Amino acid sequence: MRAYEQLLIGGAWADPSTTGAIDVVEAHTEQVIARFPAASDVDVDRAVTAARRAFDETDWSTQPLEERIAAVERIIAAFAARSDDLAQAITSEVGCTSGFARVGQVGAPLDIMQSFVDLARTFPWEEQRPGRYLPFILRREPVGVVAAIVPWNVPQVLIATKLVPALLAGCTVVVKAAPEAGLDAAILAEVLVAADLPPGVVSVLTGGPAAGAALVAHPGIDKVAFTGSAATGRAIAAECGRQLKRVGLELGGKSATIVLDDADLDAFRAGLRYTSFMNNGQACAAQTRVLAPASQYGEIVDAVAGVAAGLKVGDPFTKGTAIGPMVSARQRDRVRGYIDLGVQEGARLVTGGSSAPDDQPVGWFVRPTVFADVTNDMRIAREEIFGPVLVVIPYDDQDDAIRIANDSEYGLAGSVWTTSPDRALAVARRVRTGAFGINGYAPDTEMPFGGYKASGIGREWGEAGLDEYVELKGINGI
């Protein structure tokens, strides 16, 4: 077991104010693999005070952009040097397969960081505008001290998405990592120390909901950037509204993939593993509602069930494993509870179920599960399950499919399968989500990511992601 005794506060290792600790448990063995300090209100205040001082009293936010780019490039180099450690840690904590960890949990953050560096070089930080009456300068200045609060499912992706654009804009940042993912957060802290950032610019805290609440409520925070559940997002938005501080929320999803009657079903089957079962289903953008034409309903149900039944469940470090364990016993029980609920609601269980896999007596495993004969008013079709559970819903025609896709409190992502580009774009333009894919779903680091409705406020990635960390200032009369 790896034991950490200090927190990264203001860029330096510091003793915590209390003896509270958090254990990280390996998802497939249920063994404690690491222990970390639990940040208290006092530790949060120390981190925010250091960030406030670095923003208000040093030249970090006003120095030439190239110097901040150089700092981020040092982070990228140090992160790349620890890629293997990070991938192994995240597979152990989260339960994702080692292949996904290398590509989606470590490779993706590196790409995100580099993408932001490339965009920063051409971003319009300051531009001349003619104005209606007088010419003016439009400046984009840093929003200030940022609280970056992330969940456990893709921890380094979500940290990179917030930390790097904030740093490039000239902000200082306090990262609050999820307690389930403390090991990769500690490795990130070591990466940041190796990158030799100026004092106070970044802190990394491990802690539970109390630490997050203290960070959100702290008057020294200018903006909260949060990824997590809609319920927690609402509470954060309320507190930020009370203080009139900026807030960005990337919340849940219940995304629909619409299979049109001319779809290539072989391509659909091949893509389903990645669009709907990514990260063991622990992904906010997973396509978990499959909308199938009534005329082909049985065929598509069989196709979805066949994919799910063929996914190997087991040790995430073993080659060939497609579905690893859930991140925690609580999450496993939550997902299994939804499977039981689906049966109670009258949906037909086609494959999977709430019982443990016969060959996995240890670990927080859930069998890939598919429900048919589902109506869109069932809870399993409306609520985010966050596990390897899909529902297949029939529709009458294209308009009906779009109506069902939009009949959700969420609006994060979606996709359509068709061989007609015209039909694909017609559907994409009418589904009310922040991101949409044609014949598959895969986010792009330069395309805005975020949602409509209860899926959040604001956008991440690309130029939109940089915009989240700036204030606009107009200067005229020159």
Asked if residue 89 and residue 211 are part of one domain, the reply reads: yes
Residue 284 bears catalytic tag: yes
Pair (131, 107) in one structural domain: yes
Residue 439 domain flag: yes
Angle between helices 65-81 and 83-94 (to 10 degrees): 70
Q: Do 174 and 264 share a domain, yes or no?
A: no
Q: Are residues 431 and 470 in the same domain?
A: no
Q: Taking each helix axis as running N to C, give the angle between helix 209-217 and helix 230-243, from 0 to 180 degrees, rounded to the nearest 10.
A: 30
In a domain, 112, yes or no: yes
Query: Is residue 118 domain-shared with residue 207, that is, in the same domain?
Result: yes
Query: How buried is residue 6: exposed, middle or buried, by Cβ count under 10 Å (0-12/13-18/19+)?
Result: middle
Q: Which of 449, 406, 462 is nearest to 429 (CA)?
A: 406
Total count of domains within the chain: 2
Q: Is 450 among the domain residues? A: no
Count the residues in the chain: 478
| Same domain flag for 102 and 198 | yes
**300: domain range?**
255-444
Q: What 3-state class would DSSP assign to 433? A: coil
Mind listing the pLDDT tens digit of every residue in the chain (478 residues)?
899 999 999 999 999 999 999 999 999 999 999 999 999 999 999 999 999 999 999 999 999 999 999 999 999 999 999 999 999 999 999 999 999 999 999 999 999 999 999 999 999 999 999 999 999 999 999 999 999 999 999 999 999 999 999 999 999 999 999 999 999 999 999 999 999 999 999 999 999 999 999 999 999 999 999 999 999 999 999 999 999 999 999 999 999 999 999 999 999 999 999 999 999 999 999 999 999 999 999 999 999 999 999 999 999 999 999 999 999 999 999 999 999 999 999 999 999 999 999 899 999 999 999 999 999 999 999 999 999 999 999 999 999 999 999 999 999 999 999 999 999 999 999 999 999 999 999 989 999 999 999 999 999 999 999 999 999 999 998 7
Comparing C-alpha atoms, which of 217, 288, 210, 239 is closest to residue 40?
210
Q: Are residues 275 and 337 in the same domain?
A: yes
Q: How far apart (Å, rounded) are the C-alpha atoms in residues 24 and 240? A: 30
Question: How far is residue 203's CA from residue 173's CA, in Å, rounded to a whole number?
Answer: 7
The angle subtended at Cα 196 by Cα 190 and Cα 202, nearest 5°, is: 70
Residues 393 and 409 in one domain: yes
Provide the CA 166 distance to its chain's centre, in angstroms.
17
Task: Write the CATH number for 98.
Answer: 3.40.605.10
* CATH number reported for the structural domain that contains residue 313 in this entry: 3.40.309.10
Catalytic option among 96, 171, 240, 284: 284
Of 93, 180, 250, 468, which one is the catalytic site residue? Answer: 250
Please, are residues 222 and 245 in contact by the beta-carbon 8 Å criterion? yes
Is residue 312 classed as helix, strand or coil in its secondary structure? coil
**Quick one: 268 and 347 in the same domain?**
yes
250 given a catalytic annotation: yes
